[in-house]
Structure 1
Amino acid sequence: MKQFNRRDFLKAASVAAAAGVVSGCAHSGSVHTSAPMQQGRSVIGLVAPKMDVVRVGFIGVGQRGYGHVKRMSHIEGTQIVAICDTHTGVLERAANYLVDTGVAKPALYSGSERAYQQMLERQDIDIVIISTPWAWHAPMAIDTMNSAKHAFVEVPLALTVDEMWQIVDTAERTQKNGMMMENVNYGRDELMVLNMVRQGVFGELLYGEAAYIHELRWQMKELEHKTGSWRTQWHARRDGNLYPTHGLGPV
């Protein structure tokens, strides 16, 4: 793996993969099969120095992000430092939950779509969990790594191949992790099957099939606020699987 070259890999994989996946996910119809000049040392196998306490910041706590706040508050060795959201109602809800459970109230950031950048100026945050509308994922991840923090981003990590390369370049230059949090990889069923595969229960696997079937029409009606206020627009503009990693990830 130390000799892994991302450009050699792209030559073999990008043509086949881009045609099948990118066409359904990207903003534009163009497909880029060449890699830009490498910006720094590869982050394949990157291991961050051990932290006795992981100091956490959140961008977006409307639905999924609020769940992350609740779960993170119960993990030993973590400290929730700051939370940012453009909607003051959900921002206060997350802060009140922490206070009610005996956790110190974090610093709160709001007021504009760029308020998160003020939060990123803090020097007491190690990682940032991003759970915002899709169009903000790549810009926020890039800004997070540029501020010397690790970025953990909800699906999808980016919307175009160009954005993906910007994330790779930023990670290599800053030596910070930019991870897409594909939660389906870590479900009990998926981890059970993975364990069975590793133990040879199924023999040698030669074929895998993936799909994403999820009833979300109720969510699409949330036009004033919540996920439907922005995700409905994507379903209206794109015809395809907008969440391919939920199926492809476990396979």
Structure 2
Amino acid sequence: MSKIQKPRIGIIGLGQRGFDLLRVVFVPMAQHDIIEITACCDFYEDRAEKGAAYTEEQLGKRPFTTTNWKEVVDHPEVDAVLVLTAWESHVDMCIYSMRAGKKVGVEVGCTYNIEDCYRLVRAYEETGIHCMMLENCCYGRRELMALNMVREGIFGSVVHCSGGYMHDLRDEIVNGDVNRHYRQRNYLLRNCENYPTHELGPIMQILDINNGNRFVTLNSVSSCAKGLHEYAVEHRGADDPVSKLNFAQGDIVTTVLKCADGRTVVLTLDTTLPRSYSRGLTVRGTKALYTMDGDYIFFDGNNHEATVKDLVNNPENAAEDLSAKYEHRIWKEYRENPIGGHEGIDWLAYNAFVESIREDITPPIDTYDTATLMCISTLSEQSIAMGGAPVAVPDFTSGRWITRTEIQEEAKGYYTLKK
């Protein structure tokens, strides 16, 4: 493929997430002459119309509008496709786009069987067109700062990482039948680590997964499911149909991943009990510790009896005070002119995707990374069903992870995560 200076983008999926991205990322990108929005699509006609009308209002030109996603992919004025739909539809839409010669970016999500991941990889290997998972947390300020510190050797040898998705979603899930949100049916029918990519995406960069290292085994266990039922009874009444449903998804899912080099990862899914938001990134090394909860760095030689309060209030440990020293280059520049949603991480992730099109380079999160992130839900579902038994993590690179370290030396693009 050739470079495309101003990619023409087709958007598939304009629900809550899709429309928010249109408003805070895509339209501003078009206003900055980075992209052109040429197609809007959603299964629901009102959502497609809302997205198209907003685009026309802001940019003065109405995009092609449809409820048939294949019409977006096949449209001659679409260079690249953004898949922002329900999880169940991601893989088929991505593969169809790749085989149509369109580069594709897909919002975070999970798969329902391992074969879908292999199908995605085969589509790349047969077409040469990558699918980039748009994992915005890979561009989080603290995630990139931790990655920069790892690359600078501040942690010594990294031994263990942890993180997860800790976010009270009870209202969104319980009322999914009203607000047309796909999470409700997933929580009714599956019990798994359904949202692993926060923080696994950033952790994969820290541990060089698919670039000299890989995941080999996974174990998952789940708690019982109480939170959604009690929330439904309290907020919709005991006689409401949703209150009579049995949600399969456990309230807390804990997943352990073992790497080929012996390092470990713990992921936590915690979305159906009352709590504050956290991604909980923690990096443990032989010389230092960073934890997002508390936002401090503990260095070898610090007082091991210091409390969290002591560390948070000490400028020699508080991450914000140390950011001038360890901030990643991307965030040093971004903070001078911040744009976009989710504190900037959406703007950075989507610009990374667009850069891969404009420069015709491998995206920073490539198809192998995308497949690895997607497969975790299926593997965790299997492990939970077997009482937490270990399951093998597929090697989607077919052994090339051993030699793909060359990617780090040859990484191109401003938004690369490899250097």
Scaled to the shorter chain, the TM-score interval is: 0.7 to 0.9
Q: Distance in 2 between matches of 1:197 and 1:49?
A: 34
The C-alpha deviation readout for 1:7-60, integer Å capped at 9, x for no partner, is xxxxxxxxxxxxxxxxxxxxxxxxxxxxxxxxxxxxxxxxx5321111100110
Aligned counterpart, 1:96: 53
Higher fraction of strand: 2
Q: Distance in 2 between matches of 1:151 and 1:142?
A: 9
Query: For the aligned residues, what is the CA RMSD?
Result: 1.8
C-alpha displacement of 1:227: 5.3
Q: Decide whether the 8 Å contact of 1:134 with 1:159 is kept in 2.
A: no
Aligned counterpart, 2:154: 201
Write the letter of the residue equivalent to 1:56: I
C-alpha displacement of 1:101: 1.8
Q: Decide whether the 8 Å contact of 2:40 with 2:64 is kept in 1.
A: yes
SS at match of 1:249: helix
Q: How many pairs align?
A: 199
Aligned counterpart, 1:240: 192
C-alpha displacement of 1:219: 0.4
Asked if 1:72 is matched to 2:26, the reply is yes
Asked if 1:116 is matched to 2:69, the reply is yes
Aligned counterpart, 2:43: 86
Aligned counterpart, 1:17: none
- Higher mean C-alpha displacement, 126-135 vs 218-227: 218-227
Aligned counterpart, 1:139: 92
Q: Distance in 2 between matches of 1:153 and 1:159?
A: 16
Identity %, equivalent residues: 32
Q: 1:188 aligns with which of 138, 141, 144?
A: 141
C-alpha displacement of 1:198: 2.1
C-alpha displacement of 1:103: 4.1
C-alpha displacement of 1:183: 1.6
Write the letter of the residue equivalent to 1:91: A
Q: Distance in 1 between matches of 2:102 and 2:11?
A: 12
The C-alpha deviation readout for 1:140-177, integer Å capped at 9, x for no partner, is 11111121101111122533210011111111212211
Q: Which runs of 5+ in 1 are unaligned?
A: 1-47
Q: Decide whether the 8 Å contact of 1:63 with 1:226 is kept in 2.
A: no
> Cα distance 1:54–1:194, how it changes in 2: closer, same or farther (>3 A)?
same
Q: Decide whether the 8 Å contact of 1:219 with 1:227 is kept in 2.
A: no
Aligned counterpart, 2:167: 214
Normalising by structure 2, report the TM-score: 0.45
Q: Distance in 1 between matches of 2:21 and 2:176?
A: 23
Q: Decide whether the 8 Å contact of 1:127 with 1:149 is kept in 2.
A: yes
Write the letter of the residue equivalent to 2:176: L
Aligned counterpart, 1:148: 101
Computing the radius of gyration from Cα coordinates, the structure with the larger value is: 2
SS at match of 1:96: helix
> Cα distance 1:180–1:158, how it changes in 2: closer, same or farther (>3 A)?
farther
